[in-house]
Structure 1
Amino acid sequence: MAEQVSQPKRRPPKRSDPKALFRFIEELSWLLSSYDGTDFKALAKLSDEYMSATSLRNSLSHRTANGKEDALVGVIPGILVDETLFPTNEDIADFASSLLDIAIPRWSKKSKYELIGHIVCHTHLAPPIRRRKLAEALESLVADRDILTRQIAKQRQGGASWNEVIQSLVAN
């Protein structure tokens, strides 16, 4: 049997027929009018948020040492376990409260791992803007972990709040 050689598919030529263009404009205007109450300016914001989230997701999965494993588990537990950044349970509870607006009931009676589990399980309930700032800060921290860990520890020992620390990470 003779082998068939497949030829590359060609794109159809663009249609510049005035009637086709008019129908397109007509259908587009009908579509836009059917969504009369929609704030189309919000599309730009939505697009920015989507691109930011996609960029962060790609960045975190490619920048971390363990790649997919870190993406599966998340970066937050590894950061919260770090004794340099969070030497006490109070530091973890303060972080959750001030940065993510997550209250941990009876935090003083729980183990460090219970606190971390509570934060991980409730992070999705935090306001989107706070989650976004945390994500940006974590992205910076993951990129330069050793240097930034020392800087954060110094800031915290100097009395800086977690909000101030995160603002400095996001500003870099």
Structure 2
Amino acid sequence: MEARQLTDVADTATAGLDDVIEVGGLRQRYGGFEAVRDVSFTVARGEIFALLGTNGAGKTTTTEVLEGFRPASGGTVRVLGLDPEPAAPAMMAGESPLTARERDALALAAQGAQAGEIAAALHLTEGTVRNYLSAAITKLGAPNRITAIRVAQEKGWL
């Protein structure tokens, strides 16, 4: 596959790309939990597309993979004909990799709150809170919640 740098979505027409987003068999695991399982779709140039689902369905994880902020555990992803993952480190240099929800959940965990208390405070389900905490731990390269809190505090993200 030939990789071409595109600077504008309008360039996709001249580059011969009918689909600006291609996802095939996308999988994302957090330890033993599979947050995204075998998701496939395409988005055509000019098409309006939405990801809909309940809390914890994998919408945010899928979006973060498309943005290059999270590597896929499996499957293929192409945005404008390119793999978005290699761009992630440059985009996140010096910036917090945490989403607002991940940061909120981690900040409450830093205060000693348990998943149920965090869920109540943020109006989420406990499963969604666990997903946010797991994502924060993964993004910070930490082996556990305590280390993730320490890393985020040291970098000024909490």
What TM bracket, shorter-length normalisation?
Answer: under 0.3
More helix by share: 1
> Could you tell me the TM-score, scaled by structure 1's length?
0.22
More strand by share: 2
> Could you tell me the TM-score, scaled by structure 2's length?
0.23
Structure of higher CA gyration radius:
1
